[in-house]
Amino acid sequence: MKTFTRDLFQHYLLFVLVLLQNVSTISPHKIPRLSPYNKEALSSVSEADSEDLKTYYYRQTLDHFNFAPQSYATFNQKYVVSTKHWGGPESNSPIFAYFGAEAPLDGDFSVIGFLSQIAPRFKSMSLYIEHRYYGESIPYGTMEEAMKNETTRGYFNSAQAIADYAEIVLHVKKKFSAHNSPVIVVGGSYGGMLASWFRLKYPHIAVGALASSAPILYFENITSPYAYFSLVSKDFKEVSHKCYETIRKSWSEIDRIASKDGGLSILSRRFKTCSSLTSTLDLKYYLEGMYSEAAQYNAPPEYPVTEVCRGIDGAQKGSDVIGRIFAGMASYRGKRSCYNMTTRHTQTSVGWRWQDIKLVLKRFGSNIIFSNGLRDPYSTGGVLEDISESILTVTTRNGSHCLDILVAKESDPEWLVTQRKTEVKIMEEWLTTYYADLKS
Ligand SMILES: *[C@@H]1O[C@H](CO)[C@@H](O)[C@H](O)[C@H]1NC(C)=O
Ligand SMILES: *[C@@H]1O[C@H](CO)[C@@H](O)[C@H](O)[C@H]1NC(C)=O
Ligand SMILES: *[C@@H]1O[C@H](CO)[C@@H](O)[C@H](O)[C@H]1NC(C)=O
Ligand SMILES: *[C@@H]1O[C@H](CO)[C@@H](O)[C@H](O)[C@H]1NC(C)=O
What per-residue confidence (pLDDT) applies to 199? 96
Give the residue, out of 148, 150, 153, 156, with the most ligand 1 atoms within 8 A of its beta carbon, to mutate for a pocket test: 148
340 lines ligand 3 (CB under 6 A): yes
> Do residues 176 and 169 lie in contact, with contact meaning Cβ atoms separated by under 8 Å?
no
* Nearest ligand 2 atom, CA 24: 13
Which amino acid residue places its CA nearest to atom 4 of ligand 2?
A: 221
Distance 148 CA to ligand 1 centre (A): 8
What per-residue confidence (pLDDT) applies to 208? 97
Give the residue, out of 71, 149, 150, 155, with the most ligand 1 atoms within 8 A of its beta carbon, to mutate for a pocket test: 149
Dist. CA 377–CA 440, nearest whole Å: 45
What digits encode the pLDDT tens for the residues 214-262?
988 887 778 887 888 999 999 999 999 999 999 999 999 999 999 999 9
Give the residue, out of 273, 274, 275, 342, with the most ligand 3 atoms within 8 A of its beta carbon, to mutate for a pocket test: 342
* Nearest ligand 4 atom, CA 398: 1
Q: pLDDT averaged over the chain?
A: 85
Q: Positive or negative, the Cα torsion across 382, 386, 389, 395?
A: positive
| 2: CB partners within 8 A, 6+ apart | 104, 135, 136, 138, 142, 143
Dist. CA 36–CA 31, nearest whole Å: 14
> Do residues 157 and 93 lie in contact, with contact meaning Cβ atoms separated by under 8 Å?
no
Distance 381 CA to ligand 2 centre (A): 17
* Nearest ligand 4 atom, CA 396: 13
Residue 23 has pLDDT above 60, yes or no: no
Peptide bond into 377 cis (omega under 30): no
Residues with CB under 6 A from ligand 1: 148-149, 151-152
- Each domain of the chain, given as residue ranges in start order, spans 3-223+381-439, 227-361+365-370
Residue 25 has pLDDT above 70, yes or no: no
- The pTM of this model reads 0.85
Which amino acid residue places its CA nearest to atom 10 of ligand 4?
A: 398
The 391-396 sheet, strands edge to edge? 54-61, 74-82, 125-129, 95-99, 183-188, 208-212, 368-373, 391-396
- Cβ atoms < 10 Å from Cβ of 407: 20
Residue 18 has pLDDT above 50, yes or no: no
| 228: CB partners within 8 A, 6+ apart | 27, 29, 31, 218, 292, 350, 377, 378, 380, 381
Q: Which one is predicted more confidently, 415 or 19?
A: 415
Confidence label for 359 from pLDDT (cuts 50, 70 and 90): low
Give the residue, out of 276, 282, 333, 340, with the most ligand 3 atoms within 8 A of its beta carbon, to mutate for a pocket test: 340
Dist. CA 300–CA 4, nearest whole Å: 29
What digits encode the pLDDT tens for the residues 296-308?
999 888 899 999 9
Ligand lying nearest the CA atom of residue 356: 2
Q: Which CA distances in Å does 211 have to 293, 312, 403?
A: 20, 35, 12
Q: What is the CATH number of domain 227-361+365-370?
A: 1.20.120.980
* Nearest ligand 3 atom, CA 7: 5
415 lines ligand 4 (CB under 6 A): yes
Which amino acid residue places its CA nearest to atom 13 of ligand 4?
A: 415
> Do residues 137 and 101 lie in contact, with contact meaning Cβ atoms separated by under 8 Å?
no
CA dihedral defined by 116, 121, 125, 129, rounded to 10 degrees? Answer: -40
What per-residue confidence (pLDDT) applies to 226? 86
* Nearest ligand 2 atom, CA 220: 13
Distance 221 CA to ligand 2 centre (A): 6
Dist. CA 41–CA 292, nearest whole Å: 13
What per-residue confidence (pLDDT) applies to 276? 95
Confidence label for 15 from pLDDT (cuts 50, 70 and 90): very low
414 lines ligand 4 (CB under 6 A): no
- Cβ atoms < 10 Å from Cβ of 181: 22
Residue 197 has pLDDT above 90, yes or no: yes
What digits encode the pLDDT tens for the residues 139-159?
999 888 998 898 998 898 899
CATH architecture label of 3-223+381-439: 3-Layer(aba) Sandwich (3.40)
Dist. CA 258–CA 114, nearest whole Å: 48
Q: Which CA distances in Å does 275 have to 155, 271, 289, 342?
A: 39, 11, 18, 8
